[in-house]
């Protein structure tokens, strides 16, 4: 079977506009959650979020481009350009390169703005490119067009697991020989009035900030942004002398076939076991888990119970953290931005912390790397994503 | 005033009982003031839907967080406590 490695990474997220800036912020335990600065915030009960700040779209794109690029597409293109530059994708057969990107809301800002225009402002006309701007595959298609990638290009939308499912699909596409190079990851920009209002209804949003695994947690906080990686056939990468950041060793997806919103310990456990089996890893080899760790009571307890079930005694030794405490929950881009924490663990030996932690919860009795980053040599890591709809997806990375 | 002595606005109580009965798929005659969300068989999403229905029925905002229901300042431990809390919110927000 062909082996798959990561040869490029790029991001723009609430912690920073590059991989280096994101690593710095994770190392420092920076929390990017703050007051939301969006239209009609006074009509929201949830008024906090992790926004990409100091961002002016006109600094990155022309007016003509912006008529086609929703905010989530912009994020994907910024992250994708960094990843492609790092990977040095020159002389790659474009017909053997593709894109598979995760997103949950797609062009939600475009949808929100234009529903306002027609319903609230009673306008009877919208811009001609609203459909190509809001469609969920817009970001993947523009990545393909920008970089001339003419192989398989798709979008995966599985709520909070979108990115992990996308990266799993990229892995399978290269392993299966349908492509040599795949851009993959996720992009999300849901921080608009309608986007937040919908989440508000679920009553699971935090009042103060995101405190995963902390006994006094009150829920999740949304974020936005993108991370894009270059996944590449290992032999292909070696032949062209590319620098390998890590190996994408395994992936597994499971479905709870149970509740539409409540998580399942069994579904999570089967996904972690499956990813390790696919990667040929034993539980004892896994040194770090980037948790789904949303900061809701239901997720955190269930996830910790699943880790105990899968890892047994080793659960006490491994490190597990939720970086959502820093960058918020990026929904369809969550797994992608969180894979950065996994790369930092493997390449720099630094484990990103779970910040905002104040009180131990007996139901979450794992080493959650509270508040301060930690040095640790790890050679294999897992990244968990457990979505609404009962869909679980776990990625396993190993040191190159 | 203790809970036992508190006077209930029967219209408010009836409306809330009807909402809970609808959520629990019960006849409203089978819901008593001493019932709890558990005894009515309502899970966490059923509770969230109930709160939404109460907000819509009384045009109030209920401060309820499913992650920390005990800290929400809205006591959902029984039908009686919900009625009392809603009456209180109607007075404060009405």
Rounded to whole angstroms, what are the CA distances from A321 to A9, A113, A157, A357, A368? Answer: 21, 36, 25, 11, 5
**Contact (CB, 8 A) for A226 and A104:** no
Determine the average pLDDT of the residues in B21-48: 93
Encoding tokens for residue A167? 């990266």
A42 touches chain B (CB under 8 A): no
Residues of chain A numbered 310-339 and touching chain B (CB < 8 Å): none
Euclidean distance between CA atoms A299 and A210, whole angstroms: 13
Do A297 and B51 count as a contact with CB atoms less than 8 A apart? no
The three-class DSSP label of residue A234 is: helix
Euclidean distance between CA atoms A336 and A9, whole angstroms: 10
A298 touches chain B (CB under 8 A): yes
Do A262 and B67 count as a contact with CB atoms less than 8 A apart? no
- List residues in chain B touching A: CB distance below 8 A: 43-45, 48, 51-52, 61, 64-68, 71
In this predicted structure, what is the pLDDT of residue A148?
97
Contacts of A217 in chain B (CB under 8 A): 67-68
Quick check: is A304 catalytic? no
Strands A34-35 and A48-49: antiparallel
Q: Where are the alpha helices (DSSP H) in B1-94?
A: 10-24, 44-58, 79-93
Q: Residue ranges of chain A with pLDDT lower than 50?
A: none
Q: What percent of chain B has pLDDT over 90?
A: 67
Q: Is B49 exposed, middle or buried (0-12, 13-18, 19+ CB in 10 A)?
A: middle
- pLDDT of residue B4 exceeding 60: no
Question: How many other C-beta atoms are found inside a 10 Å radius of the C-beta of residue B71?
Answer: 12
Quick check: is A327 catalytic? no
> Measured between CA atoms, how close is B64 to chain A, in angstroms?
7
> Measured between CA atoms, how close is A26 to chain B, in angstroms?
26
Q: Give A399's strand partners.
A: A246
Residue A113 has phi, psi (to 5 degrees) of: -60, -40
Quick check: is A292 catalytic? yes
- Which site among A202, A203, A214 would you substitute to test the B interface, given the most B Cβ atoms closer than 10 Å to its Cβ? A203
Q: What percent of chain B has pLDDT over 70?
A: 94
Q: Position of tokens 């819509």?
A: B56
- Which site among B45, B67, B70, B76 would you substitute to test the A interface, given the most A Cβ atoms closer than 10 Å to its Cβ? B67
Q: Pick from A218, A262, A298: which is nearest to B65 by CB?
A: A218
- pLDDT of residue B2 exceeding 50: no
Rounded to whole angstroms, what are the CA distances from A296 to A195, A345, B72? Answer: 19, 25, 15
Q: Give A247's strand partners.
A: A5, A398
Do B65 and A217 count as a contact with CB atoms less than 8 A apart? no
Do B67 and A204 count as a contact with CB atoms less than 8 A apart? yes
In this predicted structure, what is the pLDDT of residue B18?
97
ipTM value, please give it: 0.76
Contacts of A203 in chain B (CB under 8 A): 48, 51, 64-66
In this predicted structure, what is the pLDDT of residue B1?
43
In this predicted structure, what is the pLDDT of residue B6?
61
Nearest CA in chain A to B55: A201
> Measured between CA atoms, how close is B93 to chain A, in angstroms?
15
Contacts of B66 in chain A (CB under 8 A): 202-204, 219, 296-297
The three-class DSSP label of residue A341 is: helix
Q: Pick from B43, B51, B71: which is nearest to A203 by CB?
A: B51
Q: Compute the C-alpha angle A212/A213/A214, nearest 5°.
A: 90
Determine the average pLDDT of the residues in B29-44: 94
Contacts of B64 in chain A (CB under 8 A): 203
Nearest CA in chain A to B52: A201
Cα A381 versus chain centre, distance: 15
Q: Could you tell me how many CB contacts below 8 A there are between chain A and chain B?
A: 39
**Contact (CB, 8 A) for A263 and A303:** yes
Euclidean distance between CA atoms A190 and A182, whole angstroms: 25
Do B65 and A204 count as a contact with CB atoms less than 8 A apart? yes
């Amino acid at each position: 079977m062909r082996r798959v490695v990561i040869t490029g990474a790029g991001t723009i997220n609430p912690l920073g506009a590059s991989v280096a800036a994101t690593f710095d912020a994770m190392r420092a335990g920076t929390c990017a959650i703050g007051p939301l600065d969006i239209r009609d915030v006074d009509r929201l009960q949830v008024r906090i979020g992790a926004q990409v700040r100091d961002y002016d779209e006109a600094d990155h794109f022309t007016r003509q481009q912006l008529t086609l690029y929703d905010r989530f597409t912009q994020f994907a293109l910024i992250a994708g350009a960094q990843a492609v530059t790092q990977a040095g994708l020159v002389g790659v057969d474009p017909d053997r390169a593709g894109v598979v990107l995760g997103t949950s809301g797609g062009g939600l800002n475009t949808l929100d703005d234009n529903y306002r225009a027609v319903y609230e402002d009673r306008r009877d006309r919208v811009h001609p490119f609203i459909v190509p701007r809001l469609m969920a595959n817009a970001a993947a298609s523009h990545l393909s067009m920008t970089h001339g990638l003419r192989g398989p290009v798709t979008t995966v939308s599985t709520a909070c697991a979108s990115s992990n499912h996308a990266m799993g699909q990229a892995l399978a596409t290269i392993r299966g020989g349908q492509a040599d190079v795949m851009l993959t990851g996720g992009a999300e920009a849901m921080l608009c009035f309608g986007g937040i209002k919908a989440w508000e209804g679920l009553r699971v949003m935090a009042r103060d900030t995101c405190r995963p695994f902390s006994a006094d947690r009150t829920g999740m906080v949304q974020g936005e942004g993108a991370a894009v990686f270059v996944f590449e056939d290992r032999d292909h990468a070696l032949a062209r002398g590319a620098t390998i950041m890590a190996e994408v060793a395994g992936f597994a997806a499971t479905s709870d076939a149970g509740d539409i919103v409540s998580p399942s310990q069994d579904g999570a456990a089967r996904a972690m076991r499956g990813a390790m089996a696919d990667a040929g890893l034993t539980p004892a080899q896994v040194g770090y888990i980037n948790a789904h760790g949303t900061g809701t009571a239901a997720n955190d307890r269930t996830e910790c119970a699943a880790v105990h079930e899968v890892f047994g005694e080793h659960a006490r030794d491994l490190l597990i953290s939720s970086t959502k405490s820093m960058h918020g929950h990026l929904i369809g881009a969550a797994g992608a931005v969180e894979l950065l924490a996994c790369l930092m663990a493997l390449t720099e030996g630094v484990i990103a912390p779970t910040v905002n932690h104040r009180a131990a919860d007996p139901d979450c009795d794992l080493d959650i790397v509270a508040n301060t980053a930690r040095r640790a040599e790890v050679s294999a890591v897992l990244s968990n994503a457990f979505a609404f709809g009962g869909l679980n997806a776990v990625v396993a990375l190993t040191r190159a | 005033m203790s809970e036992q002595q508190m006077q209930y606005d029967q219209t408010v109580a009836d409306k809330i009982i009807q909402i809970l009965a609808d959520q629990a798929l019960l006849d409203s005659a089978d819901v008593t003031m001493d019932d709890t969300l558990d005894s009515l068989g309502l899970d966490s999403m059923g509770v969230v839907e109930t709160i939404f229905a109460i907000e819509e029925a009384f045009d109030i905002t209920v401060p309820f967080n499913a992650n920390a229901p005990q800290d929400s300042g809205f006591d959902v431990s029984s039908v009686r406590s919900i009625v009392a809390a809603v009456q209180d919110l109607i007075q404060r927000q009405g």
